[in-house]
Amino acid sequence: MAVRPDVRLDDGPMTPVSCGTCGARVEARKSSWDQTSIQWHAEALDACVERRAANPRSGPNGGAFLGCAALNASLREAAVTGALPVQDTDELKTNPDKELHH
C-alpha cells in the first residue's frame, strides 16, 4: 500500500508570528479566518506568560492549555495586516451591531 504524501502546507506554509506581549515566536498558518494552526517551539513555550501562569504542567504531558489571549490577538492582527496569509479567499466577517457600540 502506497503512502500518500502530506501536501497540506504546499499552498500555504507556516509563517513566523511573535506575540506582542511576551515575544514568544510561533509558526502559524491560517486556513480561514476561523481556523489557525500553531506550532509551538521550546523557546516560545518558555516565553509565554499566559501558558506558564495557567498551569506549569500544561502541554503534551500535562493538563490542557486552552490558548493564550495575547498570542491570539497577535495572530489576528498579523492576519488582518496581511503578515499572516489567510488561505480562504472569503473576506473577514464583521458584526455591524458590535461595531456601532464601540
Residues 42, 33, 73: CA angle, nearest 5 degrees: 50
On whether residue 53 sits in a domain, the answer given is: yes
On whether residue 2 sits in a domain, the answer given is: no
On whether residue 21 sits in a domain, the answer given is: yes
On whether residue 85 sits in a domain, the answer given is: yes
Provide the domain count of the chain: 1
On whether residue 77 sits in a domain, the answer given is: yes
pTM assigned to the model: 0.72
Which structural domain range is residue 59 located in? 15-91
What 3 state SS string does 22-55 have? Answer: CCCEEEEEECCCCCEEEECCHHHHHHCHHHHHHC
Taking CA atoms, 21 is separated from 3, 10, 45, 53, 98, in Å, by: 42, 31, 14, 14, 26
Q: What is the pLDDT of residues 53-100, one digit of tens each?
A: 876 555 555 667 778 999 999 999 999 999 999 988 777 666 656 555
Q: What is the pLDDT of residues 5-59, one digit of tens each?
A: 656 666 678 999 999 999 999 999 999 999 999 999 999 999 998 888 876 555 5
